[in-house]
A and B are shown apart, each in its own frame.
Chain A
């Protein structure tokens, strides 16, 4: 099984890297771009686990290791 975890800054936290990417896009005349938030993607290959177990352990490891809950939030999905 493969799990994808997306970590990004909380909305309340400034993201200077995302702003810089946004500015670059605007410089290239992609004027429809309103905002960019940059984050990190983790693809984790795991042994087959029950849905219940996955719902327990993935948020747990994301909270403990992949994200710093003070500044970041995360979402996750089973990709295969």
Chain B
């Protein structure tokens, strides 16, 4: 099968773009390229990734200024047409600001920047991003953020749960959903969620930092493997 085309969007202040590029190109062996946020062309990407970092210095709100980058117009159209979009950390914050995913991010409940490995429970393995995982499997992947306290109003949360949109929840190593494991205070321990159509995933943890066993965990590679599997089998 020919290689997939992955576009990694670069904003001023992105700092996980190179890690993501490395994993997709060198570890997963896919055709990977950067997309500049001021361009108007997704370069025929099969999957677009909004990487982590601090776009525009997190000024105003995390992801709020990136929302107005020229390329976001094409990204919105791509997402609405069913194109796969993965937002990691700051990328997740952008997807919320863009309205491609419901809800918003608040400052972490303990007001600290959190940089540590956490455990995630896979809640939904029927998405293009998790088809190579199994429901209830626990992944060990790092987080690094200040604003990861996911919030949405109770009616939206009800809707998200009813539609099976929660993909990852913060859990303990046994997969129990506990208050202690909910490091940033997110509603329902939400660490990652998809849109109703399942083609847009936002997640706070960094799978690109856990895609090689040399780095302590390769659990994050499941997400990239799943995307590749999704195209191979469709």
Contact = CB atoms under 8 A, between A and B. Distances in A.
B115 interface: no
Contact of B64 (A12, A16, A17, A65): A65
B103 interface: yes
Interface stretch (A28-36, A52-60, A66-74): A66-74
Contacts of A12: 153
Nearest to B105: A71
A16 B107 contact: yes
A75 interface: no
B17 interface: no
Contacts of A14: 106, 109
A20 B60 CA distance: 21
A66 to B, nearest CB: 7
B54 to A, nearest CB: 17
B142 to A, nearest CB: 23
A16 B184 CA distance: 12
Interface residues of B, number: 18
B151 A13 contact: yes
B5 interface: no
B106 A66 contact: no
B111 A68 contact: no
Given A12-B153, A68-B97, A17 B103 contact: no
27 contacts: A12-B153, A13-B106, A13-B151, A14-B109, A16-B106, A16-B107, A16-B108, A16-B109, A16-B110, A16-B111, A16-B185, A17-B107, A17-B111, A20-B111, A65-B60, A65-B68, A68-B61, A68-B64, A68-B97, A70-B96, A70-B104, A70-B151, A70-B152, A70-B153, A71-B104, A71-B106, A71-B151
